[in-house]
Structure 1
């Protein structure tokens, strides 16, 4: 099973994304900030870091950079509602995907599916 580490400071969004991804067959470990994600990356194996960019303590770009040092094979997808931040993320980590808010859950699941070239059918309408 593909394991996703979700770093999102907004509780409602974090719960919403966790439920959607779990319903689509992914194992999700949600955390509320980047500083909570790093120790997990050091001790557990994840396939994808799905992170908001704008978060307190450590932004998603810094988190992704540190995660890449710890787990070079970890794939990264950023989610953000700020266009300027999207450009910064693309320049800093060109191999990462960026999904701009607002997005439909189907779009998120489709992007994650594409990252892992899975062809399972999601349960979202």
Structure 2
């Protein structure tokens, strides 16, 4: 089972994503800010960091950079409603995927499955 660390400061979005990703078969640990995610980072603790870019205290880009140091095998996907930060995220963490809000949940699941080469065998479709 893919383990996802979700960092999203919007309560409604965080709850929605957590429920939807769990329903899609992922194990999700959700926090409301980057600084809350930091102590959870450890090698092999999570397969994917799914993080909003624009958050208080620590943005998702800094979180992803720190995650890369503490858990180098973890993949990163940014979610953002701000087109201007998408380019900055791509430069700062080039291996990360960026998904712009609003997005359909099916698109998110498809992108996560692609990141892990899960395809049609997983039952996600």
- TM-score between both structures, scaled by the size of structure 2: 0.94
| Distance in 2, Cα, partners of 1:50 & 1:82 | 16
Q: Which runs of 5+ in 2 are unaligned?
A: none
Alpha-carbon offset, residue 93 of structure 1:
0.7
| Total equivalences in the alignment | 123
Is the CA contact 1:8–1:14 (under 8 Å) kept in the aligned structure 2? yes
Q: Which position in structure 2 is the counterpart of 1:83? A: 83
1:75-125: CA deviation from partner (whole Å, max 9, x where unpaired): 0000001111000000111100000000000000110011111132237xx
Alpha-carbon offset, residue 20 of structure 1:
1.0
- TM-score between both structures, scaled by the size of structure 1: 0.94
RCO greater where, 1 or 2, for CA within 8 Å and sep 6 or more?
1
RMSD: 1.3
Is the CA contact 1:23–1:122 (under 8 Å) kept in the aligned structure 2? no
| Distance in 2, Cα, partners of 1:10 & 1:53 | 12
Is the CA contact 1:3–1:48 (under 8 Å) kept in the aligned structure 2? yes
| Distance in 2, Cα, partners of 1:76 & 1:46 | 10
Q: Which position in structure 2 is the counterpart of 1:118? A: 118
| Distance in 2, Cα, partners of 1:75 & 1:28 | 14
Alignment partner of 2:98: what SS?
Answer: strand
Q: Which position in structure 2 is the counterpart of 1:25? A: 25
